[in-house]
Amino acid sequence: MNSEATGKLQQALASPREIILVPHYNPDGDAIGACLGLCRYLGQSGHRARVLAPNDFPQFLKWMPGSEGVLIYDRNPETARKAVAEAELIFTLDFNALDRCGPLCQLLSEASATFVMIDHHQAPDGYAHIQYSDVRMSSTCEMVYNTIEALGGLDRIDAETASCLYAGMLTDTGSFKFASTTPRTMRVAADLMERGAPHTEIHRHIYDTNRPQRLQLLGCALSNLVILPEYRTAYITLSQDELDAHGFQKGDTEGFVNYGLSINNVVLAAIFIENREEGIVKISLRSQGDFSVNDMSRKHFSGGGHINAAGGRSEASLEDTAARFRAILPEYENQLQHA
């Protein structure tokens, strides 16, 4: 965090404030971990802080300290409206364009609070008064740690705050294996361990609490896998009927897309998941090396993200979306061959 942003934030937090912290739509481990970690820190620093999520988050994140207090906008719009109206400061964490918080977008764009953005995605919008944006960062949770450090508050990170931040770093780095993991990332994780984050337990909560049906859904996804060796690409489709047949719950498909990328010589992987309720196909894209799925998603799938991990959507049917994906691959053939 640069000194200008630090100075502004210090000033904004100089007296007790009403604060809300907002993760993106369909919050993941990094977004929820960053919100809950920073929320707890701010609460212990004399502020009144709470987390307001656009919609619910997966069960495998609900062990996180403070998760029971998260206000969910689409379940409680009136309470959320009141919280936004009362807020003096609004932290938006792990996203950088207000439309990423879906149904909350309108409410936030009318808020009079001071906005603070902490985020590591590409191409930030300029809505925040205080902006800490850095695409080189492994995770927003690592940036929240840096923010607390810049505020001189590291000693206020207790085991609960450390657990939230560690969990977000763990999930956004693919257990500290993605290229975004730096020596500094490991040092921050080590410090969080020293402050009490129980790393084995956190890993178990996130990765080893599968329902049998989720594994069967994974089996279904893998049997739908299509490999296109000429484009070094693999993709998976999951229809709403297939999700329903396996008792789908939010978060069940997390990580499925990575199986495509685990195939020898594959550098681009995608998953297309039908969501009949929203009338869309949710798209996740992953890549190896310097092939930018952020660019691909921005151009073709109304989305974005990072170079090696991006998301998007399509309003076409599942079959048409997969066909569209196959049809754009020739445009990228050269890049895919050299990634």
Binding residues for ligand 5GP (CB under 6 A):
24, 100, 121, 284, 303-306, 309-313
Q: Quick one: tokens of 91?
A: 């932290």
Two structure tokens written together for 66: 């403070």
Nearer to Mn ion, 217 or 310 (CB): 310
Question: Closest distance between ligand 5GP and the C-beta of residue 253, in Å?
Answer: 9
By a kind-dependent CB cut-off of 5 to 8 A, residue 58 interacts, out of Mn ion, ligand 5GP, none, with none
| 182 contacts 138 by C-beta, under 8 angstroms | yes
Q: Six-digit token pair at 174?
A: 């693919």
Q: Which is nearer to ligand 5GP, 21 or 309 (CB)?
A: 309
The nearest distance, CB 77 to Mn ion, in angstroms, is: 26
Q: Which does 304 bind (CB under 5 to 8 A by kind): ligand 5GP, Mn ion, none?
A: ligand 5GP
| Residue 195 touches which member of ligand 5GP, Mn ion, none, C-beta under 5-8 Å by kind | none
Angstrom CA distances, 332 to 127, 292, 339, stand at 33, 10, 10
Q: Which is nearer to ligand 5GP, 114 or 173 (CB)?
A: 173
For tokens 């719950």, what's the residue? Answer: 249
Task: Please identify, using beta-carbon distances, which residue of 281 and 310 lies nearer to Mn ion.
Answer: 310
> If we measure between CA atoms, which residue out of 21, 207, 34 comes closest to residue 116?
21
CB of 278 to ligand 5GP, least distance (A): 12
Q: Please tell me whether residue 201 adopts helix, strand or coil conformation.
A: helix
Under a CB-based contact definition with an 8 Å cutoff, are residues 61 and 167 in contact? yes
Residues in contact with Mn ion by CB under 5 A are 30, 94, 140, 172
Residue 306 binding result from ligand 5GP, Mn ion, none, given CB thresholds of 5 to 8 Å by partner type:
ligand 5GP
Here the tokens at position 335 are 């890049």
Minimum distance from residue 151 beta carbon to ligand 5GP (Å): 25
Residue 303 CB, shortest distance to ligand 5GP, in Å, is 4
Residue appearing with tokens 């049906």: 213
Q: How many CB atoms lie within 10 A of CB 274?
A: 22
| Residue 303 partner contact from ligand 5GP, Mn ion, none using kind-dependent CB cut-offs of 5 to 8 Å | ligand 5GP
- Yes or no: say if 18 and 87 are a contact pair by the CB < 8 Å rule: yes
Find the shortest distance in angstroms from Cβ 193 to ligand 5GP.
24
- Residue 33 or 66: the one with the smaller Cβ distance to Mn ion is 33
**Residue closer to ligand 5GP (CB basis): 135 or 329:** 135
Please check whether residue 293 is in contact with residue 258, taking contact to mean a CB–CB distance below 8 angstroms: no
DSSP-derived secondary structure letter, 129: S
Residue 312 touches which of Mn ion, ligand 5GP, none (Cβ within 5-8 Å per kind) = ligand 5GP
Cβ proximity to Mn ion: between 306 and 313 the closer is: 306
Please give the structure tokens belonging to residue 288. 């190896």
Q: Does residue 320 contact residue 304 with C-beta atoms inside 8 Å? A: no
Nearest Cα neighbor of 328 from 314, 71, 135 is 314
CB of 180 to Mn ion, least distance (A): 9
* Residue 128 contact among ligand 5GP, Mn ion, none, beta carbon within 5 to 8 Å by kind: none
